[in-house]
Amino acid sequence: MFLPRLEDNLRYLGYQPITATDETQLTLALFKSPVLVIIDLFSRSGDWSSLIKLIKKSKAGPVPILGFGPHIDLALRDAALAAGCVAVVGRGAIVSHLAHLIDKHKWMIDDRRCHEDAPPRLVKGIALFNQGDYYECHEIIEHAWNDEPAPVRIMFQGILQIGVACYH
């Protein structure tokens, strides 16, 4: 009963909710570039801690995680924060302050990196791409992608995937 209401509220706010209750569904959802993952910490349908671990190790991007559950369970809140949630709120707060919580915690693109020089490996990989050497382009940019911790790594991944497509 709670999930459909949450999904309706997300749609009303202009978001496209994607429901995932297991690792397979979550992996597929992460490739849709969500701006925020909201996890019901009191759900009986899955292991929230393993889902948080999956999100944190995913190369799909730096997706913030907002947990919610019973407001009186401080041990649960502390465990969720330690696991990687950016915030944990009570169930009532998710309902009454959803728009504010999303605005506060969603992933935002930081364009400051756009004004910096590109990393040397990326420049070399793009040069190889422009020469039609797609295999070597892939090899070089993959290292740049793996080394990059910031959200710009999603762009590296896109270039990498285009290079692979051109190679094949």
* 76 vs 1, more confident: 76
CATH architecture of 2-108: 3-Layer(aba) Sandwich (3.40)
**How confident is the prediction for the chain on average, in pLDDT?**
88
- Please give the model's pTM, rounded to 2 decimal places: 0.72
Per-residue pLDDT of 79-123, as tens digits, reads 999 999 999 999 889 989 999 999 999 988 777 877 888 889 999
CA-CA distance, 166 to 133, in Å (whole number)?
9
Predicted confidence at residue 60, as pLDDT, reads: 66
Question: How many Å is the Cα radius of gyration of the chain?
Answer: 19
Strands (E), the chain: 37-40, 65-69, 87-90
Average pLDDT over residues 148-166: 83
Average confidence (pLDDT) over 143-160: 84
Structure confidence at residue 132 as a pLDDT band (50, 70, 90)? very high
- The packing angle between helices 120-130 and 134-147, to 10°, is 160
**What does each C-alpha distance from 93 to 69, 71, 78 come to in angstroms?**
10, 9, 17
Per-residue pLDDT reduced to its tens digit, 43-71 = 877 788 999 999 988 866 678 999 999 88
